[in-house]
């Protein structure tokens, strides 16, 4: 029974401490687990340690005190190739990730390296570009893309490789409002339909409750809280303590309840939830 339970854990992260060479302690006392098929958020303000944590989970930073176990194996002992077969990281800044001359070459790089045939590579690239709505851009020079387009090409590069675990560093930052929703819908689809386990760093408090199963709030390199969106988004003070805020709709209902004494039973986190609660109140 214990084994069955453990096999569901894909990443088990225990970091006592991680220090950058200039002595900045970026992470301390982190303990978290990512299970098969989950869609997890790492929420935190600027400088809270999100990028550092994702880089450790991707095996890019290995000189931390503690352990990261990927499918039962210590990540410090795995080669980059062994890690990349399972885990892919989309960087926060697309210019750190993209390097080829054209969109096609960039997205094709991963699948070519993985040894797929030419036909398979072409299919994978074309499917991945379709998924991020960048088909038609294959021949375009990377340098001439907009920021949001670059971001989507980065994600296509990872999709073309077909990782089982995707780590995404602020995938919606810099996208327009519709682009944000489309990106979150695409990630939800990958998670629910293709079974991809997803961990995304973000500070988009308004988007998170709509899409994520569970989240961890990072503050000053430590996990301040973890749980479902309902567990984590509690009161405005708790959020400002970690330099975040409630989703706007939750903030409104919170104030109506506590400052105007309207009898809301719970604080909904989404417009759909708020609509139900308001309709109940005025029914």
Q: Which residues bind Mg ion (CB under 5 A)?
A: 50-51, 92
* Binding test (CB under 6 A) with ligand ATP, winner from 44, 59, 247, 268: 44
Calpha distance 170→41 (Å, rounded): 10
| Site membership for ligand ATP, residue 79 (CB under 6 A) | no
Task: Kindly tell me which of 20 and 271 has the beta carbon lying closer to Mg ion.
Answer: 20
Calpha distance 268→273 (Å, rounded): 5
Piece of the chain touching ligand ATP by CB under 6 A; list 16-24, 126-134, 156-164, 181-189: 16-24
Q: What is the DSSP letter of 102?
A: B
| Site membership for ligand ATP, residue 174 (CB under 6 A) | no
Nearest distance from C-beta of residue 53 to ligand ATP, angstroms = 7
Contact 40, 212 (CB under 8 A): yes
Nearest distance from C-beta of residue 131 to ligand ATP, angstroms = 25
Piece of the chain touching ligand ATP by CB under 6 A; list 19-27, 104-112, 126-134, 255-263: 19-27
Burial of 93 (0-12, 13-18, 19+ CB in 10 A): middle
Task: Kindly tell me which of 170 and 180 has the beta carbon lying closer to Mg ion.
Answer: 170
Residues that contact ligand ATP, how many (by CB under 6 A): 13
Q: Which long-range contacts (CB under 8 A, 24 or more apart) does 187-196 make?
A: 187/39, 187/211, 188/39, 190/159, 190/166, 191/37, 191/39, 195/36, 195/37, 195/164, 196/163, 196/164, 196/165, 196/166
Task: Kindly tell me which of 197 and 219 has the beta carbon lying closer to ligand ATP.
Answer: 219
Task: Kindly tell me which of 50 and 152 has the beta carbon lying closer to ligand ATP.
Answer: 50
Sign of the alpha-carbon dihedral angle for 221, 224, 225, 229: negative
Binding region for ligand ATP (CB under 6 A): 20, 22, 24, 26, 44, 46-52, 92
């Amino acid at each position: 029974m214990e084994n069955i339970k453990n096999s569901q854990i894909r990443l088990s992260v225990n970091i006592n401490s991680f220090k950058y060479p200039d002595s900045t302690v970026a992470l301390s006392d982190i303990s978290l687990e990512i299970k098969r098929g989950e869609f997890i958020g790492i929420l935190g303000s600027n400088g809270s340690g999100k990028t550092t944590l994702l880089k450790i989970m991707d095996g890019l930073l290995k000189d931390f005190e503690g352990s990261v176990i990927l499918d039962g194996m210590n990540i410090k002992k795995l080669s980059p190739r062994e890690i990349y077969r399972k885990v892919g990281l989309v960087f926060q800044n697309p210019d750190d990730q993209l390097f080829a001359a054209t969109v096609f070459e960039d997205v094709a790089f991963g699948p070519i390296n993985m040894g797929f045939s030419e036909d398979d590579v072409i299919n994978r690239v074309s499917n991945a570009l379709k998924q991020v709505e960048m088909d038609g851009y294959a021949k375009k020079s990377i340098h001439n893309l907009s920021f949001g387009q670059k971001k989507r090409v980065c994600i296509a590069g990872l999709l073309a490789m077909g990782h089982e675990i995707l780590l995404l560093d602020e995938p919606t930052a810099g996208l327009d409002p519709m682009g944000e929703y489309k990106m979150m819908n695409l990630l939800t689809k990958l998670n629910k339909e293709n079974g991809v386990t997803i961990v995304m760093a973000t500070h988009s408090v308004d988007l998170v409750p709509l899409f994520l199963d569970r989240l961890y709030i990072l503050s000053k390199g430590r996990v301040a809280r973890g749980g479902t969106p309902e567990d984590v988004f509690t009161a405005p003070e708790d959020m400002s303590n970690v330099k975040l805020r409630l989703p706007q709709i939750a903030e409104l209902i919170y104030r109506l309840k506590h400052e105007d004494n309207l009898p809301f039973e719970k604080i909904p986190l989404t417009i759909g939830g708020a609509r139900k609660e308001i309709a109940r109140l005025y029914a």
